[in-house]
Chains A and B, each alone.
With several copies, the nearest count.
Chain A
Amino acid sequence: MDAQNLDHINQLLDKDVELREKIKDQVTEFDKKTRTLTGLLNRIHSTPSSQVPELIATVTPVLESCKESTAALAALTPPNQFWRWKDMWSVSLRNAVFAAALVEFLRSGGLLSLPRAAETLGIKDEWRDRFALSAEDYLHALISMVNELSRLAVNSVTMGDFEQPLKISTFVKDLFAGFAMLNLKNDTLRRRYDSLKYDIKKIEEVVYDVSLRKLAPSQSNKM
């Protein structure tokens, strides 16, 4: 090989190695924040509904701080290379979106849309070729949220809150019907979607237990 050819190749290879290291460091930072988020949100399972707003208040600044991570990653990624590196941070990103969506449900009972999720994490549209929230990552986050909500339905009853399961049931059924209309080709996503059925079944059983014992107003006219 002539020296020029060798040099050219070696430069290409070296640049990648260095960039990978830098991204890895940022992802480690991002990951710490999302672990704090999931740690805080894990407390909903033992927080009475009256104190949920306070819990959310502790979550919000951490969520806000994720914007720094997304900005740093967007700054590191070379133009056009979004798809090359995204696998490195997609676990963290999904966890952040999961937290944002769960907070939204707890606050308003509604679903955080994809553009709103991106906005919450400070992801700018003009970064499109360097950092974006893909549909796939967004959907993974929603499924994680449903997994958590089925646990919450169970624990709400333990804490004596018999309304929450009904709210969760309505919300999750609606979300599930939405998923059913998507054309999911992706294998992991499909498999996780299939697992949603177990969560729904569990939630329905909680609602059943509550209804049977007349612990909450009858559902027959609500559903």
Chain B
Amino acid sequence: MSVVLNSRESILTTFNHFREELDDFHDTRERLIKSSRDVTNLSKKVIFLIHRTLTETLGQSDEKETSLRAVSRAKGKLKEIQNLFAGMSEEIAGDRFWRYQKNVSPGLQEYIEALSFAYYLQCQTMISYEEVQKSLSDADGNPYFPLPLDDYLLGLSDLTGELMRYAISSISRRGGRSEANEVCKFVRGCRADFEALTPYFRELRKKQQVTSQSLEKIEDVAYAITVRSSEYDLPPELLDDIVERTVLE
């Protein structure tokens, strides 16, 4: 390529290259947006699948067992999503990832929300950054792309909303009632951990308000359980038994 362009032809040739480059960029961007939408949709389905599994066996089996069944069902679907990311990995290899990050980000966050939900039910803890990154790596442990810190945190922040739903439904599950207290403690911890990070992530600041609202709802559930059982001077299990007998009679 000549160093200084002196003729119309040389300018047009150069700009032809620019056109190809820009078209290529926009096409890739478009493909990634579509893939990200697919990831979002699948992730939402995983979340519903988990809630569904937890509700299905309402009061019929052990709480822990129910959770694990939900987790194992979710894992299959999560694998599908991971394959979608694997498929995208070539287009966002090397320095290209950061060019397209904001197009990939919505799907990625929704995936992290679903993954961390399953993880919580399995381990009762928060999935770590490294574990999320590992789930987005090939068999040899090579990441498909570097996990952005903000996507990780924003995905986790949405988890608290799902946990709120989980806590509210658990009130009508036998034994599952103690679950509400566990979730309450966990979400309280999340809120505190996120609080320290809000100065660095504008969007997290906004989501923190939603988390606070979710926490208040969970606290209300825990309160309602306490108030109710405080009126009678009987151990909680016995109360549960009495209610169950009346309903099933």
Contacts and interface: CB of A to CB of B under 8 A. Distances in A.
A and B touch in the complex (CB under 8 A): yes
A116 B2 CA distance: 9
A171 B197 CA distance: 34
Specify the main secondary structure of chain B where it touches its partner.
Answer: helix
B126 A1 contact: yes
B224 interface: yes
B62 interface: no
Interface string A52-93: 000000000000000000000000000111111000000000
Given A16-B149, A154-B219, A177-B58, A207 B243 contact: yes
A183 interface: yes
B242 interface: yes
A174 B168 contact: no
Contact of A204 (B21, B98, B172): B172
A183 B43 CA distance: 11
A50 interface: no
B28 interface: no
A218 B3 CA distance: 29
A46 B185 contact: yes
A8 B6 contact: no
Interface in A104-128: 104, 108-116, 128
Contact of B22 (A113, A157, A182): A182
B11 A8 contact: no
Nearest to A205: B228
Interface in A16-65: 16-17, 31, 35, 38-39, 42, 45-46
Interface residues of B, number: 81
A177 B152 CA distance: 32
A157 B226 contact: yes
A160 B19 CA distance: 39
B168 A111 contact: no
Contacts of A12: 129, 149
Contacts of A116: 3-4
Max count, chain B CB within 10 A of own CB: residue among A13, A208, A215 = A208
Max count, chain A CB within 10 A of own CB: residue among B6, B15, B199 = B15
Contacts of A35: 195-196
Max count, chain A CB within 10 A of own CB: residue among B14, B172, B200, B245 = B172
Interface stretch (B45-53, B78-86, B134-142): B45-53
Interface in B1-43: 1-8, 11-12, 14-16, 18-19, 21-23, 26
Nearest to B9: A174
Contacts of B197: 9, 13
A160 B97 contact: no
Contact of A80 (B55, B97, B230): B97
A180 B18 contact: no
A154 B85 CA distance: 44
A179 to B, nearest CB: 7
Contacts of B191: 42
A214 to B, nearest CB: 8
Nearest to B153: A9
A5 B94 contact: no
A91 to B, nearest CB: 12
Contacts of A174: 7-8, 11
Interface string B201-233: 000000000000000100111111011101110
A111 B5 contact: yes
B8 A177 contact: yes
Given A5-B129, A113-B2, A157-B226, A176 B219 contact: no
Contacts of A114: 14
A108 B4 contact: yes
22 contacts: A2-B128, A9-B129, A17-B200, A39-B195, A42-B188, A45-B188, A81-B95, A82-B98, A83-B96, A108-B6, A109-B6, A113-B2, A128-B95, A158-B222, A177-B11, A177-B55, A181-B16, A200-B169, A208-B228, A208-B239, A208-B243, A213-B231
Interface of A: 1-2, 4-6, 8-9, 12-13, 16-17, 31, 35, 38-39, 42, 45-46, 79-84, 104, 108-116, 128-130, 135, 139, 151, 154-155, 157-158, 160, 162, 166, 169-170, 173-185, 194, 197-198, 200-201, 204-216, 218-220, 223
5 closest Cβ contacts across the A-B interface? A178-B15, A211-B246, A83-B98, A84-B98, A83-B99
